[in-house]
Structure 1
Amino acid sequence: MPSLQQLTQTPNILAQDYQHAAVGARIMLTGHIHQAMPDCAGLAYQEHWDCLNRYGEERFDQEFEMADKVRAGFAGLIHGAAEDIALAGSVHALFVRFLSSLPLDARPRIITSDAEYPSIARQLVRLAEAGIEVIFEPANPASTLVERLARHVNDKTAAVCASSVNFETGHQSVELDTLMPLCAAKGVELFVDAYHSVNVLSFSVQDYNLQQAFVVGGGAKYCQMGSGLAFMHVPEGRQFRPLVTGWFGAFDPIVDEPATSPLMYGDAGARFHGSSMDMLPVFRANRVFDYFQRQGLDPDFLDDVHHHQLELLSSTFKQFNFNPAVIELSTSLEYMGGFLSFSSPHAKQLCEMMRDRGVHTDFRKQWLRMGPAPYLCDEQLRDAIHALEESVKELPGS
């Protein structure tokens, strides 16, 4: 297991395992969108090709075994149980299955924020157009979001849909652990988008009191597995019957007849399994899980790395005494999730100017966003803020 010091020095000791992505030659501060995959993930492409083309119809045993390993991997990241994990190609696919299990005829109300990720937000807007009452509570300030969401919960509410970290600003939802008991008391399901918490913060369904909540995350961003794979933690011991159901949602889709009426469902997470999907992302995930385990990159250590990197970016930023009318940190560091956001009326322009200097950031609305990754060294993070300082000086009227 590398030490934190080995990750801070130049070169970062992990950078040698990401040579294809050339992480030592570029300053990639878009880790909240996509982190580089370790080189070993490339082995999954040949492995997947062999499985498909060499083993033919016998590939299912290997694919199911691989999927079981990946479910166990995701369960370990959130301190859950592998049998409670359902996989899909996207969070949206899992969200649709979740929605289809809700009694919307008897409880036609869903409560959410106005800053959920588009795969969730767009679907909820469409439900609102179709006559479901969807309450979009302002996401900011994040410090009071959970309290304000809770005020809308009543006997007509089917679900509350919230994020553990605001995907636009990076602000954490404070006191998220208080939401599940309130929902349970009213018979309301809780859906938590934890994509921006998993494998970057010390996020646990136990610590956040979310054992009875639906919790989603995925392989892109902080898990370094690329796109095409998402997971959902399904509450244990509940008899859900999702209306949108695939043939893997039965007990044994190979031996049994999955379409016999009345429909039978598997236990726990299996109830929300889908149908055939491209298994390449699962093969990649298996390789990356193995790599993280070999390196000792567990969520607690990655949380330490993450906090060090955000602290370094923040402290270096403060040294320059930027004009707050031009750019300022959007909130205190303790309330930030997986990335820093800076409030600036010039966010788009600064993002473009920094890219010209070889520093990759991104922006949402008025927020310039910087998301580091474990393979970046301290020198790269300081250079990024220096590039920001140079860019600010070049703004018209500076």
Structure 2
Amino acid sequence: MDAAGQAVMAARKDLFSKALSVPGRLHMAAHSHLLWPDATLAAQVEAWEDAVVLADHKWDKALGEVYPATQGLVARELNLPSSDTVVFAPNTHTLLAVLKSAVARRENGKPVRILSTDGEFHSFRRQAQRWGEAGEIELTLVESEAPDFAERFIAVARRGDYDLIFVSHVFFKTGDVFDRVWELAELSRPEGPWLVVDGYHGFRAVPTDLSDVADRVFYLAGGYKYAMAGEGAAFLHAPPGFGSRPILTGWYAEFGDLEGPPGGVGYTADAQRFMGATFDPSGLYRFVAAGRMLEAEGLTTAKVAEHVGGLMRSLAADPPLKGAVVLNPPGKGPQARFLALRHEKASAWKQALAERGVVVDVRDDVLRVGLSIYHDEADVAAFREACGGLA
């Protein structure tokens, strides 16, 4: 029972028995690389066996059964009106590049005007900087750690003339949650600007309902983190009518009912218009296995977030790394699934903890401690003990 006398969900270590059996390791980086549940092993084997047994016809199953199942899982999690708006790719960088190529101004040879922040993940940060060097985009950045960030970003978006607005729902370094991001949907329209929300640290971490904005918002995320599927299963929710003819296009985008000029390059009307070419489908098998496991066990994002939230409050109440500043102390609203601890010794602490068998990660001067459904108070206590003597 918790302090209010309510039942607290027990950690589900049983679902991760293989990953947790690795000796001498305390995994406290569930935000960075969430351990794979046991259910994904059978899925990985199934993908291999399908390739052997079905050979050329493995794609009938991969695209005809597994792919629609992944779309359905995403649609249910985000409360989307249709699963047809979901497209998968090996990584978010691929989807970002295809998305940017669909902006009409790029086809006219003019720089794409993008509004974003200085706190975006490297897949966007690096590519945007290079696009800027090449004169392909005009980039405006808002400081993500400013105290009045939400008000400032929304104000800049409203008075600017942009083609794309790209911003995180949950910032990867600080864990700050931009819970007003959905207000920007009122600005989004097919002729521009387009609102693109990076949901990688929000998907299956923060309960997210897109039903009211699904017709105006792009949502980019994947399976590597909280969806527990590993790499190779990134996805994009693409609203109908936005970006009908990407310039960067793979041959899978021409499967189905095509639209386009006579004799020209045709595209499907659904999200498959953003699809690439041949890929390794095993990530999708794992995505389905992990997603079905969560549904079968009744492990909704809200329930897991509640479990993790209790552990985070316990850890944040008395941070074991003295002198560190907790950038995202747990509050009443949505929160990231990790604590961000800022200190000049963050990198040294990470190395020292690694030598003690504890896995955490660092972004610049921020040490991040990620918790999940396979953690309990004993793990928090073990982490505290491992931090002993670090100064």
| TM-score, length-scaled by structure 2 | 0.88
Which residue does the alignment assign to 1:284? 286
The partner residue of 2:236 within 208, 232, 235 is 232
Structure 1's 391 and 242: CA in aligned 2 closer, same or farther, altered over 3 A? farther
CA shift for structure 1 position 352: 1.8
* Aligned counterparts, 1:202-221, within 5 A: 202-206=207-211, 209=213, 211-221=215-225
Q: Report the 3-state secondary structure (helix = DSSP H, G, I; strand = E; otherwise coil) of the residue aligned with 1:22.
A: helix
1:302 aligns with 2:301: no
Which residue does the alignment assign to 1:67? 67
Structure 1's 24 and 385: CA in aligned 2 closer, same or farther, altered over 3 A? farther
> How far apart are the structure 1 equivalents of 2:126 and 2:214?
25
> How far apart are the structure 2 equivalents of 1:285 and 1:169?
27
The 8 Å contact of residues 34 and 220 in structure 1, kept in 2 or not, is answered as: yes
Which residue does the alignment assign to 1:130? 134
Which residue does the alignment assign to 2:17? 19
Gaps of 5+ in 2: 1-5
Decide which moves more: 38-47 or 233-242: 233-242
Which residue does the alignment assign to 2:268? 266
Structure 2 residue identity aligned to 1:5? V
Structure 1 residue identity aligned to 2:246? P
Q: Report the 3-state secondary structure (helix = DSSP H, G, I; strand = E; otherwise coil) of the residue aligned with 2:41.
A: helix
> How far apart are the structure 1 equivalents of 2:278 and 2:152?
40
> How far apart are the structure 1 equivalents of 2:139 and 2:166?
10
Structure 1's 173 and 155: CA in aligned 2 closer, same or farther, altered over 3 A? closer
CA shift for structure 1 position 120: 1.2
> How far apart are the structure 2 equivalents of 1:377 and 1:357?
19
> How far apart are the structure 1 equivalents of 2:21 and 2:146?
34
1:332 aligns with 2:329: yes
Structure 1's 300 and 280: CA in aligned 2 closer, same or farther, altered over 3 A? same
The 8 Å contact of residues 164 and 196 in structure 1, kept in 2 or not, is answered as: yes
Structure 2 residue identity aligned to 1:283? Y
Q: Report the 3-state secondary structure (helix = DSSP H, G, I; strand = E; otherwise coil) of the residue aligned with 2:195.
A: strand
Q: Report the 3-state secondary structure (helix = DSSP H, G, I; strand = E; otherwise coil) of the residue aligned with 1:311.
A: helix
CA shift for structure 1 position 5: 3.3
Q: Report the 3-state secondary structure (helix = DSSP H, G, I; strand = E; otherwise coil) of the residue aligned with 2:141.
A: strand
The 8 Å contact of residues 84 and 236 in structure 1, kept in 2 or not, is answered as: yes
CA shift for structure 1 position 138: 1.7
> How far apart are the structure 1 equivalents of 2:203 and 2:259?
36
CA shift for structure 1 position 257: 12
* Aligned counterparts, 1:310-329, within 5 A: 310-317=312-319, 326-329=323-326
The partner residue of 1:112 within 106, 112, 116 is 116
Structure 2 residue identity aligned to 1:226? G
| TM-score, length-scaled by structure 1 | 0.87
Identical-residue share of aligned pairs (%): 23
The partner residue of 2:174 within 161, 169, 175 is 169
> How far apart are the structure 1 equivalents of 2:274 and 2:138?
25
Decide which moves more: 357-366 or 61-70: 357-366
> How far apart are the structure 2 equivalents of 1:118 and 1:363?
14
Decide which moves more: 220-229 or 352-361: 352-361
> How far apart are the structure 1 equivalents of 2:337 and 2:91?
20
CA shift for structure 1 position 197: 0.5
Structure 2 residue identity aligned to 1:82? S
Which residue does the alignment assign to 1:101? 102
Q: Report the 3-state secondary structure (helix = DSSP H, G, I; strand = E; otherwise coil) of the residue aligned with 1:200.
A: coil
The 8 Å contact of residues 9 and 307 in structure 2, kept in 1 or not, is answered as: no
Structure 1's 258 and 285: CA in aligned 2 closer, same or farther, altered over 3 A? farther
Gaps of 5+ in 1: none
